Amino acid sequence: MPIRRVFLRTLGCPKNEVDGGVLARHLMKSGFTIVSTPEQADIEIVNTCGFIEPAKLESIDAIWEAVARKNDDAAATRKVIVTGCLAQRYGQQLSSEIKEIDAIVGFDRPDLVLKALDASATGAPACWIEKPGRVYRDDLLYDWPQDQQAPLSVYVKIADGCDNACSYCAIPAIRGRLRSRPFASIVSEIESLIFAGTREVILVAQDTTSWGTDFGDGSDLAQLLLGIDCIPADFWVRVMYAYPAFLTDRQIDVMAGISRVVPYLDMPLQHASDHMLKLMNRGVTRAQIQSRIDRLRRTRTGLALRTTFIVGHPGETSADFEELLAFAEDNSFERMGVFVYSKEEGTPSAVHSDTVSEGLARERQTRLSESFDQWSAEASVDLIGRTIPCLLERRSAGQWEGRSVYDAPEIDGQVTVTGMVERPGIYSVLIESADGVDLSGQLAEAAVIDDRGAAITEPRGVL
């Protein structure tokens, strides 16, 4: 009997998580069994991240851990397959330096992973890396199995690759040019997920606001959202990774006008100084960013804006950082991440001579993060006494845990709820206390008002 038990470890961002999920479903469809621990497996697949230096190191450590288990296998039948962004970017180097790997496959190629699992052992790792094409490999996706319960919250990738060429970013070199998924394919996948139990669909891409622009027929994110809104079911839609330079008035209006699009938008800004925005090749000015923010807040009251900033990029002066700090404080973003610049080989920023010391970059990260902690805590306190929609996902120690409508998985806050919750789903929750961005409350027992001012007639109903 062939080896059939696979442990799949996926590292990195939600986009890579989607790729890992697609790979897992293809493995199961081909007769393999996905197991929950590496000790149960005969095959280990490491789905790597290669975006920034810490992610690369984490992926390399995971590969060596898998190799160590292979070396300890007395039967000598264990296989190690490496895929994902690190494999795509450094496949030949991995092949020459870690010869215990059985095969190295680029991203988005479950078919080649399956081929690698059937291949005979050779003296060196087989390295199957293809340059990303212009056509998104939509044939590798399929509907959620009707006999299986889908996760409550699911990332749906609407495009791959990126055309923006930010000076610090290696993603275009790894993932290639923008390749949007067809409209019908996205809507079909979401339909299958919703009818299998999903209640939160999170749209992701390297740049969600550019979806459809490569089709050349006027397709845009607004059109996609309107199509998703036609699905006859109750669920949330959350939009991540909106690129500020391409966020249009039409997109803003549609997001505000569709009730199932939550009052939350993830829009990575990276900086606010015009000097730094130009060095980063962001294609937008501080004034244009502020204009987008102002319109978003005017159009959708109660909107939670999430953003990320990079500090310590080459050329960043003290004045640039102080401008960024003032900008962030003036806008009081409800959710925010602050990252220290990571030098990525092959990018324009990597050869910039005016570097910022790591110590100074860390100091700036701390200052900006501490400012966020202060104003975000104040914003959370303002929610006390309000009733807001929450996605309750799991039961723990007699309480339910989940997220508010203002929080995305893993990166934002959590909510803890008491009350007679029947099963996971979307409920109205009366917020009673706050700790930073984390909230606590109880299940609402009376009719309440939602974030749009509309009456919720069944506050304890499940979506």
Amino acid identity for residue 370 in this structure: E
Whether 461 is covered by a domain: the verdict is no
User: 403 and 301 share a domain?
Assistant: no
Domain coverage including residue 25: 5-128
Do the domain assignments include residue 189?
yes
Given a cut of 80, whether residue 463 has pLDDT beyond it is no
Rounded CA Rg of the chain = 23
Domain C-terminal end among 101, 128, 155: 128
Residue 197 located in a structural domain: yes
Q: Is the dihedral of CA 227, 233, 234, 237 positive or negative?
A: negative
Q: Does residue 288 sit in the same domain as residue 391?
A: no
* In the predicted structure, residue 276 carries a pLDDT above the cut 50: yes
Query: Which CATH number goes with the domain that contains 409?
Result: 2.40.50.140
> Would you say residue 449 has pLDDT above 70?
no
* Cα–Cα distance, 60 to 130 (Å, whole number): 21
The one-letter amino acid at 211: W
Asked if residue 231 belongs to a domain, the reply is yes
Backbone angles phi, psi at 219, to 5 degrees: -65, 140
255 with 266: CB under 8 angstroms?
no
CATH of the domain at 51: 3.40.50.12160
Where is average pLDDT lowest: 113-127, 183-197, 250-264, 293-307?
Answer: 113-127
Specify the pLDDT at position 60. 94
8 Å CB contact between 455 and 449: yes
Q: What is the mean pLDDT of residues 321-349?
A: 95
**Residue closest to 169 by CA, chosen among 272, 50, 267:** 50
Based on the fold, state whether residues 258 and 180 are members of the same structural domain: yes
How many angstroms separate the Cα of 346 from the Cα of each of 48, 339, 349? 19, 20, 9
DSSP state of 337: E
**Does one domain contain both 287 and 318?**
yes
pLDDT above 90: percentage of residues in the chain: 65
Last residue of a domain, one of 95, 128, 161: 128
Whether 164 and 285 map to the same domain: the answer is yes
Same domain membership, residue 253 and residue 175: yes
CATH label of the domain that carries residue 313: 3.80.30.20
Q: Structure pTM?
A: 0.89
> Are 192 and 280 found together in one domain?
yes
**Does some domain include residue 93?**
yes
Helices (H) and strands (E) in the chain, counts: 12, 21
What confidence tier does 143 reach under pLDDT thresholds 50, 70, 90? low
Q: Is the dihedral of CA 68, 71, 77, 80 positive or negative?
A: positive
Whether 447 shows a pLDDT value over 80: the answer reads no
Report the pLDDT value the prediction gives residue 456, as an integer from 0 to 100: 41
CA–CA distances in Å: residue 130 to residues 81, 107, 112? 16, 9, 10
In this predicted structure, the answer to whether residue 271 has a pLDDT above a threshold of 60 is: yes
Within a 10 A sphere around the Cβ of 346, how many other Cβ atoms? 10
Domain termination site, one of 128, 148, 164: 128
If we measure between CA atoms, which residue out of 13, 3, 7, 8 comes closest to residue 408?
A: 13
Lowest mean pLDDT among 281-290, 430-439, 444-453: 444-453
Gap between the Cα atoms of 263 and 408, Å rounded: 11
Q: Are residues 30 and 68 in the same domain?
A: yes
Asked whether residue 354 is domain-assigned, the answer is yes
My answer on whether 116 and 239 are in the same domain is no
Q: What is the pLDDT of residues 22-47, one digit of tens each?
A: 898 889 888 899 999 999 999 999 99
Which of 226-230, 279-283, 397-401 is least confident? 397-401
* pLDDT tens profile 221-269: 999 999 999 999 889 999 999 999 999 999 999 999 999 999 999 999 9
Residues 96, 171: one domain? no
Dihedral (Cα; 206, 207, 212, 215), 10-degree rounding = -60
Characterize 236-251 residue by residue with b for buried, 16 or more Cβ atoms within 10 angstroms of its Cβ, and e for exposed: bbbbbbbbbbbbeeeb
Tally of structural domains, the chain: 3
Q: What is the rounded average pLDDT of the residues 409-418?
A: 93
pLDDT of residue 457: 37
Considering the domain architecture, whether residues 76 and 207 belong to the same structural domain is answered as no
Domain check: are 391 and 350 in the same one?
A: no
Torsion of CA 6, 7, 10, 15, to 10 degrees: 30
